[in-house]
Amino acid sequence: MSASAGQISLRLAMSLDGYIADDDGGYEWIVPVPSPTLDTEHQLPFDDFLADVDIVVMGRHCFDQKQHRDYVALGKKVIVATSAPKLIATPEEGVDFVGRDVVEVVKAYRGQGQHCFIFGGGVLVQSFLAANAVDMLTVGIVPVLLGSGRPLFLGGYPPLDLSLVNYAVQDGKARLIYRRR
């Protein structure tokens, strides 16, 4: 069993001013900015993280953008949080649609030793933070100020004490990994 078994992880990129997408929901601003003199020797590759993930949880917007396909192709179970799970006309293999109880469903998988990766927007992140259901938080800080957009943190959740457990710098982005204390 891996070290991250039985946990719920967030791993997101955000602008320096705290946005995860621009006003149109776009991510084009997340680009490498080579800075080899600042890059740390060790890196925190997404592929290594993903190899340890059992379940990917995303919102309906990400699903509609077909962002689930790579995860399904890798054999990951995908859970789509949606306000209307019964209205999905064509279910896909490896994909489950869950309504308001998505946090409880994911916590049950965590209780079974599954590593659950929250890949979603601020609303989905907010629901897991509000339920105090986040074990690991990885944030990649992109050196850009958007000025507006979709924020990562919406507020309204209880305090969550974290400890920095790892970091890396790659392509101008600082990646910070925090664990619940």
Q: Is residue 1 within 8 Å of 7, Cβ to Cβ? A: no
In whole angstroms, what is the distance from residue 174 CA to residue 148 CA?
A: 21
Eight-state DSSP code of residue 23: T
- Which H helix or E strand runs over 49? helix 46-51
Q: Lowest mean pLDDT of 72-76, 83-87, 118-122, 154-158, name the range.
A: 83-87
Residue 60, domain CATH: 3.40.430.10
> Residue 46 domain-assigned?
yes
In a domain, residue 2? The reply is: no
Domain assignment present for residue 97? The answer is yes
Domain count, the chain: 1
Nearest Cα residue to 5 out of 153, 112, 142, 140: 112
Mean pLDDT of 129-143: 96
- pLDDT tens string 51-97: 999 999 998 888 888 778 889 989 999 999 988 766 665 678 889 99
How far is Cα 162 from Cα 130, in angstroms, rounded to an integer? 15
CA distance 164 to 115: 20
The 10s digit of each residue's pLDDT in 39-53 is: 888 888 889 999 999
Domain extent, residue 107, equals 7-21+34-180
pLDDT band at 99 (very low <50, low <70, confident <90, very high): confident
